Structure 1
Amino acid sequence: MIKVEITDGILEGTEEKNKYGGSYFSFKGIPYAEPPLGDLRFKAPQKPKPWKGVRPAKEFGPICYQYDVYNKKIHGSEDCLYLNVYTPELKPTKPVPVMFWIHGGGLINGSGNDDLYGPEFLVRQNVILVTINYRLEVLGFLCLHTKDVPGNAGIKDQVAALRWVNKNIERFGGDPDNVTIFGESAGGACVSFHCMSPMSKGLFKRAIIQSGIATCWLPNVFQPRERALVLARDLGCDSDNETDIIEFFKSQPIENLINKQIKLTLMENIKEYPCVSFGIVSEKEFPGIERYFHGDIYDVLRKGIHEDIEVMNGYTEDEGIIFLAGNCDLPKIYEQSNNCLEYFVPKPIEINCPLTIQMEVGTRFKKFYFGQQKVSSDTLDQFVKYVSADNFIYPSILWQKIVAKRNKNELFFYKFNCKSERNIFTQLMGIPDLFKDQTVVCHGDDLPYIFPVKIFEQNISMDSEAFKMIDKVTKLWTNFAKYGDPTPDNTLGVKWSPYTRKEENYIIIEQFLTASKAPDSSTFDFWESIFKEFYPHVAV
């Protein structure tokens, strides 16, 4: 029997054969906080209660109640605060570096389970992998700016899981002083917030930010309290009394609190474009309540991230394709973007600048990306480039440049461009027809090079070109986790030099690694010029 004793009790796990070599030990469904039920709904996570005897850790814990975009069904539970530990050795001669994964999904869906995030590729590189579930959407990110519902419960769940790792990972052979947090999409944005939050300080040594960042407009929710009040009215609460509203939300059946799009402005309601209704907020201060984040994101970032951490940051070649998924109405996009110049206005300018400025900004963006052409199926590639820059390229490089300016952290930057049969996210998201004649590197297409994707798994030969790329990518990620340097020796053929203010070094990750400088500089420079002229608070 495979047993480990942690601070809360004894766990029984399993030893699993890794079809890519060796074996590993698996411990699933470990509670890292009390179930957030009843009066604990919307509140920060509480420490879990110890158990007596041996707790089986052979099955995943429930995931947060959600609409599953891959399986097109509603499932999960409000009792969802569980994590999983996969370790190559339980009693190594030297403690093993730890990689702590934060899943993406727009803060709306996803989990740490192995349908997308299996451990096999990473543990063969001799690291421990920890994956987690956390509260999502309304359950995780409702904010009333009150002591009972201050906001950010879902990202405080992540902090609780990190604290659990710091306290317990030694029992699994891990090194609590060498923890790397990493995440993709909304998970990447969360990682970048942890780099700034006082609650997260000291809980990790390194961070990898994949295709999502705190300076992206999506996770930064505009007017969170007002959105919560709109939701309350939509669900039938007519009271203006604070206590009544909180009790109303606590009494709602869970199915009323998922798949909710609260579009606050006329533009949000009309515009065919992604909108996050519940996300990370600037919290108000209340006695006895830990505050995860406070302040304007750009002001906080300019004061610096935690000085004792190293960070790797980047994005994929064709990020914006993801926004063509699901129920995206392309004819409506074409109509709006051709007839309304405000369509091409980034969120910070949309909510802070008058319409006359928005019209001028929209004119410049449309000319930069489309010239005299119309937005149509013939220019869809240009539309994808605009969406990629709006949500990923400009915010990611902006974050990197602001942090590099202080010269307090070792930074690395990459652009992911691996192409093989592993690039499956256009198929997973239901948009293959638009790109059936080409292999693209969509948002999320980096993930199958880091994790086996069980829900769409292929039989992959270890002699294939795709597996060689998997081996290369996982070496880069785990080298960074082990040493703070993705290329500590010459085995990968290229030296990945740090990104600095003077030397904007980065690596293009594809079949072969290519060192370069100033990623997407023409795109960044154009966006930066717009913000400097019309809303300089955002610019570097």
Structure 2
Amino acid sequence: MMSRVVISDGVLEGELVKNLFGGQFHSFKGIPYAAPPVGDLRFRAPQPPEPWEGIRSATEFGPICYQVNPFMDPTPKGSEDCLYLNVYSPDLESAKPLPVMVWIHGGGFVFGSGNDDTYGPEFLVRHDVVLVTFNYRLEVLGFLCLDTEEVPGNAGMKDQVAALRWVQKNISQFGGDPENVTIFGESIGGASVSFHLVSPMSKGLFKRAIVMSGHMNCYWALISRPVLRATALAQQLGYGSSDPEELSSFFKEQPVTSLVNCLPPVYFYEKLGGLSLSIPLFSVVSEKQFGDNERFFEGDPLEALQTGIHEGVEVISGFVEHEGVFSMKARGGYDIVKESSKFLEFYVPMAIRFNCGLTAQMEAAMQIKAFYQNGSTDPDVLMRFCSFEDFQYGVIQWQRICAKTNPNKFYLYKFCCKSERNLMTYGLGLADIFGNEPKVCHADDLGYLFPLKSFNLPVDPESTTFKMIDNVTKLWTNFAKCGDPTADDSLGVRWPEYTTDGEEFLEIDEELTPSSAVMKDEVELYENIFSKCLPNQLGSYTYFMTNSIASFANKS
């Protein structure tokens, strides 16, 4: 059965789909939310889409951004013409407008899309929410920065803003409530959500946010020296100029095939590999002002938190139990386990590596390795360190700072669910490193929010696994509905709000268990090290809070 809606740009015809997990929903795919970013629009902020005459079919996905997926398929796929979104609604004419959830996909700003091969709506829309997924420009196409008016950077983030503005303008036609929008994302998608919480371009476009396994203050979320990076790429492509205007013309003339899978090293550790997580080499930048052009982000992430996130926005954030299994793969798998036992450099936090001398780095590394090695096997030592350094500390640090400096409502979680839906550890080929002991790897939480259609995983509605799916999707959709993730009494537990005094969080497993002071020992370890190594920089929560309080006092 077909479904029709009238939006600002024309008439869309989608379809009514039976949900295998109960009920049905209206599906509208491949809706343009901006003009194709091609020709002179390459690297520029997105422009409004062109209206159309007659009825536009919305039963097929639009092209994904041109990309290479290094984990799944090395064959380039997609198109520069990729700014499309998808809307799934359980009721187009609901008596009461439905809450809206807008998903921002991860993939390191290198790969991914909003398509339902991974991010299908079936688990979420059964809880009476409207789901929106979308594509945005990636890698060089989305994040090249030359610090010029023509190529100021952050084009991919401005695509995300354009999608959120489209939602505000049109979602009521799909039964959604533009006044009740929750944005959520995982990994670099989570960091994107975090940036939207402070970006002036995003203010007023959403009411709530769910930040999964990544924040803007994680060391990999924002890059420095973007023009140097662009120059290195041009040299890699055979062009010797470092003049920004000449580089702009050069990159606009390049075939799209030259602008994916780009790895121009700028630092020696990038050339060697193995010393850090595979950092996105084209990512969010601190953007310069050019006339009246809108800037997505300017400044330093931790300093931005001194100003605070957008007033009144409620936030869930958290991480999975064994994030670092993914990091070990990015660092080199088996080889990295062997090398880390020989070289202390593997245990130097990135903030200290970039800001401290070799003596301080080695002292920090010895302290960290001794902490993690107590009673653990070598793979577990490295995995636990990678988990905390690459993801968990950034999440906890963000939560503590924001709860101290904002009156907003915050929730924190630790995700521990284990089942056949935890695909990443086995998919990355690292399971036997840990003796096939079940792990909850980075991105393993996605299987409890989305069907992951391309993996052909069976789902038994009577299984323990489905109970976990039901719990997770209820927590997320309850929060989207009213700001209280455990408003549904059927969950049998209350998720306490996070405070700096109690540091409350929820452990999400087969059972839902409230607790407090997550990873207390690891946090104290890092705070102690940072207070010694970076006493005059924003490297630690303790320093940040001491100085931010002083700065607030001086301002007042």
TM (normalized to structure 2)? 0.94
Q: Are the counterparts in 2 of residues 326 and 430 from structure 1 also a CA contact under 8 Å?
A: no
- State the shift of 1:368 in Å: 1.8
Determine the C-alpha separation between the residues in 2 that align with 1:448 and 1:456.
10
- State the shift of 1:314 in Å: 0.3
Moved more, 422-431 or 473-482: 422-431
Letter of the 1:146 counterpart = T
- State the shift of 1:239 in Å: 2.2
Equivalence for 1:191 = 193
Q: Give the counterpart of 2:356 among 337, 342, 353.
A: 353
Determine the C-alpha separation between the residues in 1 that align with 2:521 and 2:428.
30
Moved more, 209-218 or 173-182: 209-218
Change (3 A) 1:267 1:327: closer
Deviations 1:378-429 (A, max 9, x none): 4101110000000111110000000011241100000001111111122333
Q: Are the counterparts in 1 of residues 419 and 465 from structure 2 also a CA contact under 8 Å?
A: yes
Counting aligned pairs with the same residue, the percent is: 53
- State the shift of 1:224 in Å: 1.4
Equivalence for 1:459 = 458
Equivalence for 1:417 = 416
Q: Give the counterpart of 1:288 among 287, 292, 300.
A: 292
In structure 2, stretches of 5+ residues that fail to align are: 542-556
Letter of the 1:313 counterpart = S
Moved more, 511-520 or 432-441: 432-441
Equivalence for 1:5 = 6
Q: Are the counterparts in 1 of residues 105 and 189 from structure 2 also a CA contact under 8 Å?
A: yes
- State the shift of 1:302 in Å: 2.0
In structure 1, stretches of 5+ residues that fail to align are: none
Q: Are the counterparts in 2 of residues 3 and 11 from structure 1 also a CA contact under 8 Å?
A: yes
Equivalence for 2:307 = 303
Determine the C-alpha separation between the residues in 1 that align with 2:243 and 2:424.
45
- State the shift of 1:459 in Å: 1.9
Equivalence for 1:362 = 365
Determine the C-alpha separation between the residues in 1 that align with 2:411 and 2:456.
30
Q: Are the counterparts in 2 of residues 393 and 524 from structure 1 also a CA contact under 8 Å?
A: no
Q: Are the counterparts in 2 of residues 407 and 500 from structure 1 also a CA contact under 8 Å?
A: no
Deviations 1:48-89 (A, max 9, x none): 111111110000111111112323422111111000000000
Determine the C-alpha separation between the residues in 1 that align with 2:253 and 2:423.
40
SS of the counterpart of 1:500? coil
Letter of the 1:483 counterpart = C
Equivalence for 2:123 = 121
SS of the counterpart of 1:208? strand
- State the shift of 1:286 in Å: 0.6
1:382-397 correspondence runs (5 A): 382-397=381-396
Q: Are the counterparts in 1 of residues 337 and 382 from structure 2 also a CA contact under 8 Å?
A: no
SS of the counterpart of 2:124? helix
Determine the C-alpha separation between the residues in 2 that align with 1:333 and 1:291.
42
Q: Are the counterparts in 2 of residues 39 and 250 from structure 1 also a CA contact under 8 Å?
A: yes
1:232-311 correspondence runs (5 A): 232-272=234-274, 273-274=276-277, 275-311=279-315
Determine the C-alpha separation between the residues in 2 that align with 1:31 and 1:367.
53
1:25-104 correspondence runs (5 A): 25-68=26-69, 69-104=71-106
Letter of the 2:7 counterpart = I
Q: Give the counterpart of 1:181 among 179, 183, 189.
A: 183
1:13-24 correspondence runs (5 A): 13-24=14-25
Deviations 1:24-45 (A, max 9, x none): 0000000000000011111111
Equivalence for 2:530 = 531
Determine the C-alpha separation between the residues in 2 that align with 1:199 and 1:32.
16
SS of the counterpart of 2:490? coil
- State the shift of 1:371 in Å: 5.3
Determine the C-alpha separation between the residues in 2 that align with 1:30 and 1:443.
30
- What's the C-alpha RMSD, in Å, of the aligned pairs? 1.5
Deviations 1:163-189 (A, max 9, x none): 000000000000000000000000000
Letter of the 2:187 counterpart = S
Letter of the 1:207 counterpart = A
